[in-house]
């Protein structure tokens, strides 16, 4: 399972200076984990960035953390009006919007028969409603400006592969990928590209809570041909590629970044978590 939380410190190694020069981007979940690496890379490549997160303390220090070209806004990405305010504030501050990275996500675990409705609803709203809100609000802004734009939704290998205790996460991430394809179909004639990136296991403090359990990391390593988790910056590299002009004829794609994990399947987590 991929998660979008983690350390907000990383280098900009691998950046392509100037690739996003003069561009304006929004990154949800942009102050930690994968989102933080995306933000750092965008800054290194010339973009101005608005980072959104539910954590008011982290977004308040966004400019200090990432530099003067970054501002933060506390945003509940599951709320349409709050997300609309995020887009409006971005345009007010920087005059335009060129790219949106929907990174915010997470889950509450459970099986089909025992997950509570509250936990199911929380997970679906966080992973699917946020992607829906962001995708259509960014698209509306691109259309209003009469310009092309790019949207990247961070999904998960679990959009393709099920896992025990993940019914809400797998279902919502699969739906987010189909939302991506639907948006690409509808928006392509306007030059708006919509893609997804699906990480496998990513090394973050949040996943560390799982992989530190006895035997769990070894069980994952047995299944992942690369024998390791991805680093957050490796997912950021894929996301920036999809948003860049280097991917100018790619839309409706779900780029899996999993160290070939999809060739083997998930370990049975029941033996560790039951």
Instruction: List the catalytic residue out of 169, 220, 249, 266.
Output: 169
3-state secondary structure of 197: strand
Contact 27, 51 (CB under 8 A): yes
User: Edge-to-edge strand order for the sheet containing 192-199?
Assistant: 70-74, 48-53, 24-28, 99-102, 149-154, 192-199, 254-257
Assess whether 220 carries a catalytic annotation. no
Residues 232 and 23: their CA atoms lie apart, in Å, by 22
Contact 45, 19 (CB under 8 A): yes
Contact 151, 181 (CB under 8 A): no
Structure tokens that stand for 181 in this block: 């394809």
3-state secondary structure of 170: helix
Contact 223, 163 (CB under 8 A): no
Residues carrying an active site annotation = 169
């Amino acid at each position: 399972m991929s998660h979008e939380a983690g350390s907000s410190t990383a280098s900009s190694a691998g950046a392509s200076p100037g690739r996003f020069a003069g561009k304006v981007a929004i990154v949800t979940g942009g102050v930690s984990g994968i989102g933080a690496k995306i933000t750092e890379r965008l800054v290194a490549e010339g973009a101005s960035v608005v980072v959104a997160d539910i954590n008011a303390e982290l977004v308040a220090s966004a400019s200090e953390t990432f530099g003067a070209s970054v501002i933060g806004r506390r945003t509940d990405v599951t709320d349409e009006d709050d997300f609309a305010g995020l887009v409006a504030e971005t345009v007010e501050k920087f005059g335009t919007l060129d790219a949106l990275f929907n990174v915010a996500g997470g889950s509450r675990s459970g099986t089909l028969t025992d997950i509570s409705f509250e936990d199911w609803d929380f997970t679906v709203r966080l992973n699917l409603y946020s992607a829906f809100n962001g995708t259509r609000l960014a698209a509306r802004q691109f259309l209003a400006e009469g310009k092309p734009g790019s949207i990247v939704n961070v999904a998960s290998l679990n959009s393709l592969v099920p896992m025990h205790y993940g019914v809400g996460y797998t279902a919502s991430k699969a739906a987010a990928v189909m939302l991506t394809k639907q948006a690409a179909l509808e928006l392509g004639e306007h030059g708006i590209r919509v893609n997804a990136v699906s990480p496998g296991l990513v090394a973050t403090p949040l996943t560390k809570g799982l992989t530190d359990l006895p035997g769990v990391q070894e069980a994952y390593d047995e299944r992942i041909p690369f024998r390791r988790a991805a680093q957050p910056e490796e997912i950021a590299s894929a996301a920036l590629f999809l948003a860049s002009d280097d991917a100018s004829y790619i839309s409706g794609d779900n780029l899996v970044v999993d160290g070939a994990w999809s060739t083997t399947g998930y370990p049975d987590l029941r033996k560790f978590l039951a």
